[in-house]
Structure 1
Amino acid sequence: MGGIWSTRLKKAEGGLSSSNTLGKGYGVGFAVHDRKIAKAYYDSMELRPTPGKDGASTAPQMTSILGRAGTVGLEKAVEVLDTIGSSMSNLTSASGFMSERVSRGNKICILSFEVANTITKGAALMRSVSQENLEFLKNKILLSDGIQKLVSMDMKELLAIVASDTREELDGFCKEVIRFGNLCKDPEWHNLARYFQKLFSDSSPPQLQKEDAEATMQHLTNLAQHTSDLYHEFHALDRFEQDYRSKLREEETLTAAQRGEHTMILQSELKRQRKLVKSLKKRSLWSRNLEEVMEKLVDIVAFIHQEILEGFGPTGINTANSREDPAPPRLGPSGLALHYANVIQQMDSIVSRPLSLPPNMRDSLYQGLPVSVKADLRSRLQTFRVKNEMTVAHIKAGMQKTLQWLVPMAESTVKAHQGFGWIGEWANMGADLNVKPCQCRSLIRIQTLHHADKEKLTSAYSS
């Protein structure tokens, strides 16, 4: 990174307080350090080129964002990443054990699984703001019937909503990067909250090279993939060791003549597995310095910020207060999105298979309806008069016409809740080498019922 950012960032050191706009808790533990230390970090904000030779450069090249490992391997890695990620989510630089371990050895070690999780989050976010995905967003997703009828028909408002969601995801990503910075031995990484605050307030940051950013992310995802492989090889090593110890206990009661070759075979397999784990440690995040990875993560944050500005224009700067008029009540903030999605799916089941339903299906559907819909339904039934005889086929066709655009949003809502968190995102990504990154699109919030207008959806229920 060159000297292009130094002036702005030195001003940030003296001109900004520890409180910031990135979220609660960002100012904790961020002291102003010696000016030499600050200068060493703030000398540059250009993206550094990825080193030509590295421990991970010998890894197979990936054409998808996750690499060559199969989906089965990734699903196995999900368990440990989820467990470790949640168990360490409250750690800070003052939390004793983890901080001391990282600082003393200056290696990532056990923290590598959580860092891999964060890298995956950054990869998905970086892909979502790519030019290909933004074109797909504007030309297809935002023009879908569900979004147009339930969210808004104003393209400017829709883009502002997506920009706000993207900013929210970037803030979450930054919080994790900041926390890792606090765990670094080198204090130059302890002021990232202030640095990001200054970066995000700049509407015209210096341009970072897309090719360099993509190469950096490719390098990080290679390391994350090897870290995923390391996890399930750790699992296999644990099984080998248990089997070997169990066999040794069995043979303690046997004579030398009775002992077979099985123990020797297990010992040989155990030795090979230990070598494999040792090799993966060297190729994964496990053996990397945290400071080395932090430099790349900070570059990725800066590049994603740049892409948001380029992709969304003025709406990508400050989207929190972009609406002049009060927004109508939305399902997500009301905590009703998943409930409404389940009701829609029940309706679809009844319409699709009216003759093969459980006896209590209709009662269950009625109990799940919103209060306003129930009241409107009672009123309609009391005044209902049959003018023209309607066949079951006509009624079904009318309901299917509405469900045709309602069901996709309901399914997306359920899927988003089932795959909540970036571990679920990683598990659901394919590893097909022929799939381009732009073809592997993540589900975004506006495709769900989160931003759906409550009154519009209630009206659709009643129609």
Structure 2
Amino acid sequence: MGWLPDIGYIMGGRGDSFCTESKKKSCNLGILSLETAKIMARLVSLYRSLSDEEIFNLREEILNSEGVMFLNSRDEKFLLSLACKEMLEDLDRAAASVSRLGKKCNDFGLNRFDLAYVNLKLGIIDSRILEYGSKLNEKRLRKMQRLISATSRLHAALEGLTELELTEQKMRQVKDKKMHLMKSNFDSFTQKLVNQRKMVHYFQGISLWCKTFDKSVGLMARIVCVVYVRICAVFRQYVPNLTTFSSQNIGCFKNQTDTPMIELVREQFTSHSGPITMASKVSLVRFHSQKSELFFIEQDDSVLSIENLLKKSLFHSAGPLTLGGSGLALRYAKVILLAEKYLDPTESIDHIDRESLYQMLPENLKVLVRTKLSKNMKRAEDDFLLAIGWREAMTEMLGWLAPVAHNTVKWQMERSFEKMKFDSKPSVLLLQTLHFSDKEKTEAAIAELLVGLSCVYRHENRQICV
């Protein structure tokens, strides 16, 4: 634990090194480069999402969009708390992965990055050396993006090589039976396979594949810290529990070597609260056993509030009266997108499509649609102007409803575990989706949408939707 008092020096190491240089030669990432590239991409995405332009867009465009305001909330402080919590959770996941990769580093500081991250959350570090947007950090970001791009191309080349090798095995089996027919084709294919292996070898050389654990983890560790300090700076006025960095936090362990380390840590928990309410859970960080459990703290709180957002997983914080809490967000998003698709005059719905769309609706929404539809049809059987009015109303409604539905599907795709994602662009936030949308309001809007679609289809001589 002797290195903890010098944490300020560790975090402010020379060049791209996160801390002191190792005397031993560090191993290369190899196959772990693919996972590392995903972590890097997520960190770059988080870094870019905290730029002045993105924060301005969040406050002025996203929070004031009609769909978010009508379905989710008009409370700016609450919505910004959602954004802050999601970014912190993403950062914690990235930090946990960096910490796991750091266990393979020779550098002791990187090897115990989990403790460095804990100290960062306690505010016992000079935040001035973690300046967001500095030229040095921008240079690191560009380097990371080049490595991500090269590793992404390596991944594609490896997949291509795997397919070619499988094809080669099949061709060898056929070649043994039909030697005279397959020789020329087999020679041509062999050359293609050789070229593919050369391509893989080339991308291995310029990607993370040949980078050491120490170099790669060192890059990511510093960006993790920069992103955390930036989140605190941007959202502190809306989320008071965030760490406050000041001159009092710098070197606060100096000249206290006579006090046991665990007692010093306990003092820090009571005086410098991090992004998770920790005063009553000091044992979460077990410095005496050199283990950190600061990542992913779950607590059972039934009330969704700004305070509880900092104790509970954001995804599971949606209440029972929201679509996320009801498990209906993605299903309703697909219904809205189908309605958007079928509003196109060139589209038609056959019996199978009609039944499939209808079965996507829960029973209560089916009843609501049928009730509205029957009342609407009684009022105007042959009014062609009604169809025109419905089309205009649906177009206006989809103008604010469809973007939220698109974002819901996009959010799910961006976080799909099965996909190898190397995209480092800022991603969609959960507050932009239907996850926190009011269930009653959304169902009323969808019912109006489907009734309008039925009216338009009937009067335009297309097959009825529901």
Structure 1 and Structure 2 fold alike (TM over 0.5): yes
Matches within 5 A, 1:90-109: 106-109=27-30
Structure 1 contact 131–311 (Cα < 8 Å) conserved: no
AA aligned to 2:2 is R
Match of 2:415 in 1: 420
Cα distance in 2 for residues equivalent to 1:355 and 1:292: 54
Would the alpha carbon gap of residues 194 and 310 (structure 1) be closer, same or farther in structure 2, given more than 3 Å must change? same
Would the alpha carbon gap of residues 422 and 170 (structure 1) be closer, same or farther in structure 2, given more than 3 Å must change? farther
Q: CA RMSD in A?
A: 4.3
Cα distance in 2 for residues equivalent to 1:248 and 1:150: 61
Match of 1:407 in 2: 402
Cα distance in 1 for residues equivalent to 2:238 and 2:202: 47
Residue 312 in 1 paired to residue 235 in 2? yes
AA aligned to 2:47 is M
Residue 226 in 1 paired to residue 150 in 2? yes
- What do residues 205-241 of structure 1 show as CA deviations (whole Å, max 9, x unaligned)? 5122322222112212222222233334445666389
Would the alpha carbon gap of residues 336 and 47 (structure 1) be closer, same or farther in structure 2, given more than 3 Å must change? farther
Tell me the SS of whatever aligns to 2:238. helix
User: What are structure 1's unaligned runs of at least 5 residues?
Assistant: 1-33, 52-102, 430-439
AA aligned to 1:128 is S
- What do residues 125-150 of structure 1 show as CA deviations (whole Å, max 9, x unaligned)? 11111111111111212111100101
AA aligned to 1:35 is G
Match of 1:455 in 2: 440
Residue 35 in 1 paired to residue 2 in 2? yes
TM-score when normalising by structure 1: 0.65
Matches within 5 A, 1:29-428: 35=2, 43-46=9-12, 48-50=14-16, 106-202=27-123, 206-207=127-128, 208-209=130-131, 210=133, 211-235=135-159, 239=164, 276-315=199-238, 317=242, 318=275, 322-323=306-307, 329-353=321-345, 356-377=348-369, 386=379, 391-421=386-416, 426=421
Identity of aligned residues (%): 25
The offset of 1:275, in angstroms, is 5.2
- What do residues 172-222 of structure 1 show as CA deviations (whole Å, max 9, x unaligned)? 211211221223355543433332223123298512232222211221222
Would the alpha carbon gap of residues 253 and 448 (structure 1) be closer, same or farther in structure 2, given more than 3 Å must change? closer
Cα distance in 2 for residues equivalent to 1:146 and 1:414: 15
Would the alpha carbon gap of residues 303 and 190 (structure 1) be closer, same or farther in structure 2, given more than 3 Å must change? same
- What do residues 16-49 of structure 1 show as CA deviations (whole Å, max 9, x unaligned)? xxxxxxxxxxxxxxxxxx636x678774213643
Cα distance in 1 for residues equivalent to 2:222 and 2:91: 13
AA aligned to 2:393 is G
Structure 1 contact 412–447 (Cα < 8 Å) conserved: yes
The offset of 1:313, in angstroms, is 2.6
Cα distance in 1 for residues equivalent to 2:225 and 2:445: 42
Cα distance in 1 for residues equivalent to 2:350 and 2:421: 36
Tell me the SS of whatever aligns to 1:143. coil
Cα distance in 2 for residues equivalent to 1:383 and 1:253: 73
Would the alpha carbon gap of residues 204 and 230 (structure 1) be closer, same or farther in structure 2, given more than 3 Å must change? closer
Would the alpha carbon gap of residues 254 and 183 (structure 1) be closer, same or farther in structure 2, given more than 3 Å must change? same
Structure 1 contact 118–176 (Cα < 8 Å) conserved: yes
Structure 2 contact 10–109 (Cα < 8 Å) conserved: no
The offset of 1:263, in angstroms, is 8.6
TM-score when normalising by structure 2: 0.65
Structure 1 contact 412–448 (Cα < 8 Å) conserved: yes
The offset of 1:345, in angstroms, is 2.3
Cα distance in 1 for residues equivalent to 2:68 and 2:219: 36
Of structures 1 and 2, the one with the larger relative CO (CA 8 A, separation 6+) is 1
- What do residues 52-74 of structure 1 show as CA deviations (whole Å, max 9, x unaligned)? xxxxxxxxxxxxxxxxxxxxxxx
AA aligned to 2:57 is F
Tell me the SS of whatever aligns to 2:10. coil
Would the alpha carbon gap of residues 43 and 423 (structure 1) be closer, same or farther in structure 2, given more than 3 Å must change? farther
Worse-superposed segment, 114-123 or 339-348: 339-348
Tell me the SS of whatever aligns to 1:357. coil
The offset of 1:301, in angstroms, is 0.3
Worse-superposed segment, 262-271 or 187-196: 262-271
Cα distance in 2 for residues equivalent to 1:252 and 1:395: 68
